[in-house]
Amino acid sequence: MEKRPYEFELERIKALIKERGARRVGLQLPEGLKTVAIEIAAEISKETGVDVILSGNSCYGACDVDEKLARIVDILLHFGHSENPFRKHFLSEERTGAKKECNSFGNAFLSKKRFVLEENYQEKIIFIELRSTVDINPMVESAIAELKGDSVGLVATVQHVHALNEAKRVLNRSGKKVVIGKSHSLKYDGQVLGCEFSSAMVPCDEILFIGSGSFHPAGLTLYTGKRVIAADPFTMQISVFEPDELRKKRYGVIARALDAKSFGMIVGIKSGQFNLSEAIALQRKAAAKGLDAHLITMEEITEASLLGFKVDAFVNTACPRLAEDFVHFNKPVLSINEFDVVLGERSWDGVWQ
């Protein structure tokens, strides 16, 4: 069989199935890997004799576990993300009453209530991180030509975090000072999510991101205000992201919402994006300013799902990156921090803090 670019940990999976005596196993893969879902399902089924059920729903992050599938299987294998630390955090918060923490966007990640419901089947969900098996050295060497400063903040998605120290050695050899930052909440040093960039908040001239796609580097440049060089070890492509252009776009959206009199407060009902208490708090803040605000639950936030609601603008309390990256929305869709700017409670410069 052709070598896979990711480590699917099939031996660990088989051992786990045996150990737990599982008869029915669910598989959830991120969008980009659904193409190999059938092959992986067939292999697990053939080697262990279990019934395998594939999730056909979207899967954007560890915040997006298919809870409905988890209810009907003995084990749910969630591929491509590391265990979401917010899950544990909020469970313990429920028990201890500890203060709720927010991610970089002002959105609290998960709701307490949600995870009390989930706790019954927490043990069923197994995260398979899908470590890359690709050598990143050639790609880091070609990225060096794009680096302008002396110091580099080095970050990666979970698939490549194990290779960051090797990347650091390559960069050091070319004379670069490299910082791999500690994440406030993620599992590994240098790891980033689309909405958690604390490991990139380090003293450096620019950031080198190792991973695929534009979702993470766009967020990194927006929230750090630094130039980001994105290097994809699979395609060997190097792309450069500058903060000003993206920030200008967001300022434009905020400006369009300044005259809005009515708002839809979007409450995401996906696991890990549910944030009802925050949405209610925002609704009250809006009412105190004489604005009309309504709570709206949604699973997938798309232009089509917003279309029918007669409000002037929306505030998104679910995945904070949706408005920026995925979809073009006709009406302004604001993050929580951006809504604070509209309410006059936060400075324009403070949106990214």
**C-alpha–C-alpha distance, residues 323 and 329, integer Å:** 7
Contact present, 208 and 149 (Cβ < 8 Å): no
**Residue-by-residue DSSP string for 178-211:** EE-PPPSSSSSTTB-BTTB-GGG-SS-SEEEEES
Contact present, 23 and 75 (Cβ < 8 Å): no
Choice between 61 and 332, CB closer to ligand SF4 = 61
Choice between 147 and 218, CB closer to ligand SF4 = 218
Residue 37 CB, nearest approach to ligand SF4 (Å): 19
Residue 324 CB, nearest approach to ligand SF4 (Å): 10
Residue 36 CB, nearest approach to ligand SF4 (Å): 21
**Residue-by-residue DSSP string for 95-160:** HH-PPPP--TTS--SS-HHHHHHHGGGGGGEEEE--EE-S--HHHHHHHGGG--SSEEEEEE-TTT
Choice between 136 and 319, CB closer to ligand SF4 = 319
Residue 318 CB, nearest approach to ligand SF4 (Å): 7
DSSP 226: S
* Backbone torsions φ then ψ of 241, nearest 5 degrees: -120, 130
Residue at 337: amino acid letter: N
**C-alpha–C-alpha distance, residues 225 and 222, integer Å:** 6
Half-sphere CA count of 276, side-chain side, radius 13 A: 11
Residue 24 CB, nearest approach to ligand SF4 (Å): 27
Residue at 183: amino acid letter: S
Question: In which order are the strands placed within the sheet that holds 262-268?
Answer: 292-298, 262-268, 313-316, 333-334
Q: Which residues bind ligand SF4 (CB under 6 A)?
A: 60-61, 63-64, 193-195, 273, 319, 321
Residue 304 CB, nearest approach to ligand SF4 (Å): 19
Residue 193 CB, nearest approach to ligand SF4 (Å): 4
Choice between 17 and 192, CB closer to ligand SF4 = 192
Half-sphere CA count of 124, side-chain side, radius 13 A: 23
- The SS3 call for residue 94 is helix
Choice between 104 and 132, CB closer to ligand SF4 = 104
DSSP 162: G
Residue 222 CB, nearest approach to ligand SF4 (Å): 12
Residue 103 CB, nearest approach to ligand SF4 (Å): 7
Choice between 80 and 194, CB closer to ligand SF4 = 194
Choice between 178 and 319, CB closer to ligand SF4 = 319
Q: CA torsion 102→94→119→26, rounded to 10°?
A: 0
Choice between 107 and 132, CB closer to ligand SF4 = 107
Choice between 210 and 301, CB closer to ligand SF4 = 301
